[in-house]
Amino acid sequence: MNAAPISSNRGKRPTKPTAAMRRPKGGGSVFREGDRYRGILKRDGQVVARVSAKTEELCWERLRAAERGENPRLVQEDKTPTLALYADRWLARKAGARGRPVKDNTVIGYEQKFRIHIVPYFGHEIRVDQITPKMVGDFFNKLRKDGLQNSTIANTRNALSGLLSAARLEGIITENAAKGHNIGEAGSGFNVVGFSDDLARQILDAVRGSEHRDAISLLLYCPMREGELLRLDWANVFMNAKRLTVMATDTRVMAPAGSGHFATRGVGTPKTKSGKRDVPIPLEAERLLRRRFIEAGHPTSGLVFPSAKNRSVPVSPRSLLDEFKKRMVAAGLPVTKIHELRHISISLLLAHDVDPNLVAQIAGHSNANITRRFYAHVLDGKAYEAAETLRFFGPNSASGDSGRTGRKVPQSGTVSAEWDTGDSVNLGKEGQKRA
């Protein structure tokens, strides 16, 4: 949904509605004329309805009625705005606020939640004051049944709760119906799919012959985020030095005036200050990049993975994801998200004894504690392997057998102390605390 703020040109009718006041894809436009608001609805470039009202809210309601084929004059003024209309206003304030504490990505994320989940569920007619805690609870339950992740549901709740909090401060409602709902642990969005050298090889085999093979492979070889990969420039690839430099990321930004869209793709800075970093290029990645470099005509700059239709913009993230999913499903692999390639790559670095501080630097984490927390499942296994080197303290130490037993590393959450005598002790959470 696009925002429709009040024009500052009181009493002056603009030659055409400003871009900020237009709704995308035939939604109409509203502008101020004197002490009234005028609305125009067009289809295929032809004006099909004109409405007017004393307030902007009522003008939008009448315009929506005309869009549905109803008589707009039957829509009478109501002091309480609908959820859909108030969402337009609230998002417009968020997007236009100077020095706002939220980033474009956050506002765009809110807009997506209203457009994709909230407004379609509650409908365009429900008023803000008609929303009850039970309705909100039923809404969240439906999102769970639809299979949405807790993080997505939590973000949707934050968007709805932010809007209702603003409505409460304006005196439109007396309570925030979205507060007090337990969504569950949103987490980091990091799902452990398992990792191994074999899994990495299977992924590389699965994408062989794909038009996006190089992009997918490079995400395994070099733990970049997808947006960082899409904005990788040849000017920042140093093959002789065996490194590339991450300087930008593909992101969502507020759409420019006149585009008819709320958001569009653009160039942004990496996720954290540490995001601008050097990433080492392993041998296979170097071969991949050299081949693309030759095929592209030895460019000194330009996107490494441009769109086939327009080389000034990167390949479509949707196209990349769809191809990746199709290949993984066909191969029967448990990987369905592009971002999981980054997790597998980082996990393998840690599993092969690369120092966590160096891994954090390569991955662009703001500090090594993030790496240790998110990848504790890897480090727990390494800690067990390290403990195995102290087996000479065991009952059979006199035999001089202090090597590894080759036993399988236990799952995270259990600690197994197993001597050559065959006795086994499994310490659960309480035992670990005592230990």
- Cβ neighbors of 39 (< 8 A, separation 6 or more) are 28, 29, 30, 49, 50, 51, 52, 53, 59, 60, 62, 63, 66
Share of the chain above pLDDT 70, in %: 73
Between CA 157 and CA 218 the distance in angstroms is: 35
**Cα distances (Å, whole numbers) of residue 9 to 38, 234, 297, 354, 409:** 14, 47, 53, 62, 70
Between CA 112 and CA 264 the distance in angstroms is: 12
pLDDT-derived band at 417, boundaries 50, 70, 90: very low
In this prediction, residues 37-41 reach a mean pLDDT of 88
pLDDT-derived band at 414, boundaries 50, 70, 90: very low
* 193 CB neighbour count, 10 Å cutoff: 15
pLDDT (0 to 100) of residue 18: 42
The mean pLDDT value of the chain amounts to: 78
Tell me which residue of 284, 241, 250, 293 sits closest to 270, measured CA to CA.
250
| Range with lowest mean pLDDT among 52-61, 116-125, 163-172, 289-298 | 52-61
CB-count exposure of residue 350 (10 Å: 0-12, 13-18, 19+): buried
Higher-scoring residue by pLDDT: 143, 62: 143
pLDDT-derived band at 96, boundaries 50, 70, 90: low
Domains and CATH numbers, the chain: 19-77 (no CATH), 85-169 (1.10.150.130), 197-373 (1.10.443.10), 376-434 (no CATH)
pLDDT at 238 over 50: yes
pLDDT-derived band at 177, boundaries 50, 70, 90: very high
What would the pLDDT profile of 184-231 be if each residue is shown by its tens digit? 544 444 444 567 889 999 999 999 999 999 999 999 999 999 999 999
Between CA 345 and CA 47 the distance in angstroms is: 55
pLDDT at 386 over 80: no
pLDDT (0 to 100) of residue 58: 80
pLDDT (0 to 100) of residue 24: 45
pLDDT-derived band at 271, boundaries 50, 70, 90: confident
Share of the chain above pLDDT 90, in %: 37
In this prediction, residues 109-123 reach a mean pLDDT of 92
* 427 CB neighbour count, 10 Å cutoff: 14
Cα dihedral 213, 321, 364, 278, rounded to 10, equals 30
Strand order in the sheet with 36-43: 29-33, 36-43, 46-53
| Range with lowest mean pLDDT among 53-57, 314-318, 332-336, 416-420 | 416-420
pLDDT (0 to 100) of residue 412: 38
Between CA 358 and CA 64 the distance in angstroms is: 56
Helix axes 339-351, 356-363, angle to 10 degrees: 160
| Range with lowest mean pLDDT among 24-38, 199-213, 377-391 | 377-391
Cβ(149)–Cβ(104) below 8 Å: no
Helix (H, G, I), strand (E, B) or coil at 290: helix
Tell me which residue of 381, 373, 320, 387 sits closest to 348, measured CA to CA.
381
Which range has highest mean pLDDT (105-114, 205-214, 407-416)? 205-214
Higher-scoring residue by pLDDT: 55, 112: 112
pLDDT-derived band at 395, boundaries 50, 70, 90: low
Quick one: how far is CA 158 from the chain centroid? 15
What would the pLDDT profile of 348-363 be if each residue is shown by its tens digit? 998 888 899 999 999 9
Strand pairing category for 263-268 and 415-418: unpaired
Cβ(18)–Cβ(4) below 8 Å: no
pLDDT (0 to 100) of residue 208: 93
pLDDT-derived band at 43, boundaries 50, 70, 90: confident
Between CA 113 and CA 94 the distance in angstroms is: 14
pLDDT (0 to 100) of residue 329: 93
pTM above 0.75, yes or no: no
Token readout for 238 is: 């140093």
Between CA 159 and CA 118 the distance in angstroms is: 9
Strand pairing category for 249-254 and 243-246: unpaired
CB-count exposure of residue 421 (10 Å: 0-12, 13-18, 19+): exposed
pLDDT (0 to 100) of residue 434: 36
pLDDT at 297 over 50: yes
Higher-scoring residue by pLDDT: 381, 221: 221
pLDDT-derived band at 56, boundaries 50, 70, 90: confident
